[in-house]
Amino acid sequence: MKEPSAEPAVTPPASRLPPLPAVLIKNVRLLDPVADTDTTGCLGFRDGRIDYHGPAAPKGARYDETIDGSGLWLMPGAVDLCARMREPGHTQKATMRSESTAALAAGITALCLPPDTRPVIDNTAVVVRVNRIAKAAGGAYVYMLGALTRGLEGDALSEMSALKQAGCVGVGNGLAPVANTLIARRALEYASSLGITVHVVPLDPALANGGCAHEGAVATRLGLPPIPVSAEAVAMRQWISLVEDTGARVHFGRLSSARGVALLESAQARGLPVTADVAAHQLFLTDEDLDGFNAMAHVLPPLRTAQDRDALRAAVRAGSIGAICSDHQPHEADAKINPLPMTEPGISSLETLLPLALRLVHEGVLTPLQAAARLAPGPAAVLGVEAGSLGPGARADLVLVDPALEWQLDPSAMRSRGRNTPFARQNFAGRAVRTWLGAH
């Protein structure tokens, strides 16, 4: 087989390029996390839907293109639970077009936009506007979270019913605090009555106190304002207590600590409807990566210790953390050049989501099937959307992966407008070489 190019090829979305091609992929490793199968065989799709999955090529069926997938993996396209596209409101950093096309090239076929755009996604007019921008941009499919409170100000509930009717797949307050526990409880009661999942980034604002680094030896040595683990743990305990009262579904986004994992697993063991994700960079980096005042490693929640990182990895392997996300936050160069506490947190991470998941496979943390599960059906279940299956009739949101392709991350070659990454110049093994987006 001819070696795939190191530059991923992108098949544009169905809504932008009708009619969709009929494609047959032969001799490929098929990773189907919904069916829990890892086999070698053939898969065909036409009109944006999978129409064949079997050990050998179908007899008599005609396809527009046939691909020899020897040595490659075919898996469902990734569903990213948190990606800031910077539009509307911050187009000096990136645009919907630049980021959604970068996502598709990187094997991400759907992503979820947090509500902290400008204006905030707290009314149906903004939902319609964002949908219009996303449709015109092309690239990966964009889902949205609506605001939990009006303007994300924390003191008055949003019109969740209208937001759900407009197409929001959940609600949340981003990193903005909710004023008090009574409002949080009323929000959960309202969301529960509508069957909406509430997305929570557990970070107590008083304990976080404007900090930028994990409270530990590194922050002390560098003189950086700290964020204790208790900022995550206290917030999680509060929301879990309210889930016990209301029965509402809560998804904890971007866990960062071993204590957070323990609280999550305790709640799940008691049958509470709580789920969680982790950002891919939290599974590799620690607070030691801030040495030298490395602003590229300034993220919220902060990078914590190696013990925390290992606990997060174990939870991803066990499935208590059911999704890995990018937590994509592209920035212009000026956002990372000030003294570290004054820099803007976040990593441009669409293009490292799949490669870092593959690194977990190469390191023996996850099996290929587990990696596929944490990237597609796990996050899709949180959003309540169709994704993650290779079965006949499923939507053909697919990524063809070369797991052995060696490459180096060159920020200047990134498709995202954001070049802010602590993984610059690192070597990777494995990436997407072809992506398809099915009929939505």
DSSP states of 356-410: HHHHHHHTTSS-HHHHHHHHTHHHHHHHT---S--STTSB--EEEEEEEEEEE--
Taking a C-beta distance cutoff of 8 angstroms, is the pair 65, 237 a contact? no
Residue 70 has pLDDT above 80, yes or no: yes
Cα–Cα distance measured from residue 70 to residue 187, given in angstroms and rounded to the nearest whole number: 51
pLDDT for residue 8? 45
What are the tens digits of pLDDT across the range 342-377? 999 999 999 999 999 999 999 999 999 999 999 999
Residue 59: exposure state from Cβ atoms within 10 A (0-12, 13-18, ≥19): exposed
Cα–Cα distance measured from residue 365 to residue 164, given in angstroms and rounded to the nearest whole number: 37
What are the tens digits of pLDDT across the range 222-249? 999 999 999 999 999 999 999 999 999 9
Residue 180 has pLDDT above 60, yes or no: yes
Q: Which whole-number Å values give the CA distances from 317 to 360, 367, 403, in the listed order?
A: 10, 9, 19
**The two three-digit tokens of residue 225, written as one number:** 């304002």
Fold agreement (9-75+394-436, 77-383): no
Residue 130 has pLDDT above 80, yes or no: yes
What are the tens digits of pLDDT across the range 75-92? 999 999 999 999 999 999
Taking a C-beta distance cutoff of 8 angstroms, is the pair 262, 235 a contact? no
Residue 127 has pLDDT above 50, yes or no: yes
In the residue annotation, 327 being an active-site residue is answered as yes
Cα–Cα distance measured from residue 225 to residue 338, given in angstroms and rounded to the nearest whole number: 15
3-class DSSP state of 49:
strand
Residue 9 has pLDDT above 70, yes or no: no
Q: How many CB atoms lie within 10 A of CB 338?
A: 11
pLDDT for residue 60? 86
pLDDT for residue 18? 52
- Per the prediction, the chain carries an average pLDDT of 95
Residue 146 has pLDDT above 90, yes or no: yes
Residue 320 has pLDDT above 80, yes or no: yes
3-class DSSP state of 282:
helix
Amino acid at 394: A
| Residue scoring higher pLDDT (14 or 39) | 39
Name the percent of the chain lying above pLDDT 70: 96
| Residue 152 region by backbone torsions, left for phi larger than 0, else alpha for psi between -120 and 50, else beta | left
pLDDT for residue 6? 42
pLDDT for residue 19? 65
Phi, psi of 325 (to 5 degrees): -120, 170
pLDDT for residue 202? 98
pLDDT for residue 16? 43
In CATH terms, is domain 77-383 a member of 1.10.569.10?
A: no
What are the tens digits of pLDDT across the range 413-440? 999 999 999 999 999 999 999 999 997 7
User: What residues does each domain of the chain span?
Assistant: 9-75+394-436, 77-383
Residue 2 has pLDDT above 70, yes or no: no
From the list 155, 161, 149, 147, the residue with the least C-alpha distance to 116 is: 147
Q: Which of 122, 204, 327, 402 is catalytic?
A: 327
3-state helix, strand, coil in the chain (%, to 5): 35, 20, 45
Residue 192 has pLDDT above 60, yes or no: yes
What are the tens digits of pLDDT across the range 207-223? 999 999 999 999 999 99
**176-181: long-range contacts (C-beta < 8 A, 24 or more apart)?**
176/116, 176/149, 176/152, 177/205, 178/148, 178/149, 178/154, 179/154, 179/155, 181/238, 181/242
**The two three-digit tokens of residue 244, written as one number:** 């016990």
Segment 155-165 shows an average pLDDT of: 97
pLDDT for residue 48? 94
pLDDT for residue 220? 98
| Residue scoring higher pLDDT (12 or 18) | 18
184-223: b (≥16 Cβ within 10 Å) or e: bbebbebbbeeebbbbbbbbbeebbeebbbbbbebbeebe
3-class DSSP state of 347:
strand
Q: What is the CATH number of domain 9-75+394-436?
A: 2.30.40.10
pLDDT for residue 20? 82
